[in-house]
Amino acid sequence: MEENDPLSRNYMTKFARFMARYPLAPWVAVATGLFLFAISGLRDYWFRYESLGWAYVFGHPALMWKEYFQPESIPYLSQLFLYPWQFKLFGYQPFGFLALSVGMAVIATVISFRTLQKMGVPFVALVIALLFTASALFGIETLSWEPTNGFQNYYVITLMFGTLWSLDTYRRSGRPKILILGLFLYTIALAFSQFRSFLLPIPIILYLLFSKWGKSSTRHLLIVVCTALALGAFAPALVWGRTFSEQGLSAFPVFQIIAAGFGNVGASFAALDQWGPPPALYSILGFSLISGSLIDWWKNRTSKIGSLIGYLALVAIGNALVMQVMVRFTGSEPMVYSNTHRFLTFTTIFTFPLIGLIGQGLFTRRFPKTIQVLFALFLAGLIIMQTFQARLAIAARAQETGQIKQFYVGLKNAVSTLGEGAVLQTIAVAPRFTIDPFTNNQFGRTEYGIAGFYNMNADNLYLTHASAESIEILRERGWGLDKLFVVTFSKQSVNDISASARALMRNGAEFSLTKSPLRTQFDPSVSRAEPLIVTDLNLPAYQPFALSLRAKITPRDAEVKSATVPIWWQPQGSEQWLERWKTELTLPADGIWHSYTVAIMPDEGVEIEALKFGDIREVVELEIDDISARYDSVSVP
């Protein structure tokens, strides 16, 4: 097509107008590409066990109020109003939560960038901040293994920047309705932000301090009002279980909190986790960024850009320090989090535009081109590293939630129904999951998730890992063995072995394990007697049994009067003999055959593959014969 072709000129003109009107458009496209590359690590996405428990709690109003109106649950009361309607809409379809979280992230990103632009952050700084945001903040939290975390963080960010936008608009226009809207958004954010309410006052109050107002009395009044609202939001946390009520100021390691605060500022923009750097390196990076920004602000505090740099630097370090104080209040130690950790969200949202403003200054001031190019390459390297690290983190979390999905879906396929009440005994076998699908959490009992998944009453469901506990519950509830379900689970499959387990408990069984005597004696070269091992047993490992045997100890040293014989059992698929799989039997060294019965309480695996008798340290000869295993029948209603 010729260059003077009218059609070509028309397209070029339209494109030029579009770029003039939307200069951020190509950078938005690049940011979208970074985000799509990050989520390409997503292989499977499902619920973490906590969400399954929430689904059950939020479906039972009486239980919901019982679980959440406790001192230790006060920071989580906002979930009563945020999540029930989401679970009602999406049920056990995690894609809905993912879509809602991504949508909320888009809204939060647009509002935060429009607000920063309105406050005076220039174009180049916005571009840099946008690329950082797409590579880290936007990519990780929306795809967390807990599907509600992303939504919760981003709606709070939306309300926070909505408040800043309203205050900035009121400062310029003086319209009371805008001010009322801003205070309303601020109040809603404090009330419905869980523990994130601690992080909201700093950006709002610092904005009031840094911005120029026509009437200083109005600014002072707003500072008092916003501070009072924040203190009102903090009040319930004073009775938050052991944390706020029992922690004293003397328990706060001030230096550690400050070091961790600066460290988290550094971790928010430097994706170095894959190289395992020491936390001190992050602290140095964070201190360099904040101290350099504050020096720049002090030198240029009369300019708009200088004020913005000072504001963003103080908010970033302020929120990072407050987060560490909160962590200490919960009884944990201050620490530097991974670059992809959700706790850094309220730090990164301010460090990214801060880095953008620093970059803007380097690109617009009269620095040598070489320095500008090197700095641009440095920023590009940071963004690329964060994108790759985000992709790896998403893939790792997706793999873990995929295992949870694999277990629950496999469980439903293996056991289609648990009826109106059940004791579910689970047995982990190799190859094992890398994550425990039954980890307890503060959002109710583990049984809630399974009960919701089977649409049954959680009060009639009991999760156990040993037969003794299962039998005790059956007796307490007056249930028969038909209420017992025994399943094995691994990375490969979930299998229902309830029928064989019930038959063993109902009828009992006895197995003969040896056909001829076994013999070993003390070997001076190794200072022990070689152990006796009986293999290929295939004994049920999900129920206790009585191990019977005849044994004779013949002393080879006149001073030896007795010997201790360790008895080990080994589950199928294992090559080790662990201490928790051992019991001991002390025998007289009199050269006479004696009969013994030992209670074996296996607590792992489906079958016992081998028994080992040894290692004997005394100078004796050991002979064993007539080894048998007896499983007694179980008496239940």
3-state secondary structure 248-280: CHHHCCHHHHHHHHHHHHHHHHCCCHHHCCCHH
Which tens digit of pLDDT belongs to each residue from 142-185? 665 565 666 777 888 889 999 999 999 998 888 899 999 999 99
Helices and strands of the chain, counted as H and E runs = 22, 15
Residue range 427-455, pLDDT digits in tens: 888 888 887 777 665 556 788 888 888 88
Q: pLDDT tens across 461-498, in order?
A: 999 988 889 999 999 999 999 999 999 998 888 999 99
Neighbouring C-beta atoms of residue 289, cutoff 10 Å: 23
Position 248 confidence tier, pLDDT thresholds 50, 70, 90: very low
Asked whether the beta carbons of 314 and 207 are under 8 A apart, the reply is: no
Structure tokens at 292: 């350099």
575, 581 Cβ separation under 8 angstroms:
no
| H-helix segments, 22-146 | 25-39, 49-58, 61-68, 79-82, 84-90, 94-119, 123-135, 137-140
Q: Is the pLDDT of residue 290 over 80?
A: yes
Name the region of 194 (left: φ>0; alpha: ψ -120 to 50; beta: rest).
left
Quote the DSSP letter at residue 444. B
Residues 6+ away with beta carbon under 8 Å from 9 = none
Residues in the chain: 637
3-state helix, strand and coil shares in percent for the chain, rounded to the nearest 5: 60, 15, 25
Mean pLDDT over 42-55 rounds to: 73
The two tokens of residue 452 are 């919701």
Q: Residue 234 and residue 150: Cα distance in Å, rounded?
A: 23
Nearest CA among 90, 92, 109, 94 for reference residue 35: 109
pLDDT confidence band for 318 (50 / 70 / 90) = very high
**Per-residue pLDDT, 15:** 64
| Angstrom distance (rounded) from CA 545 to CA 237 | 51
Peptide bond into 71 cis (omega under 30): no
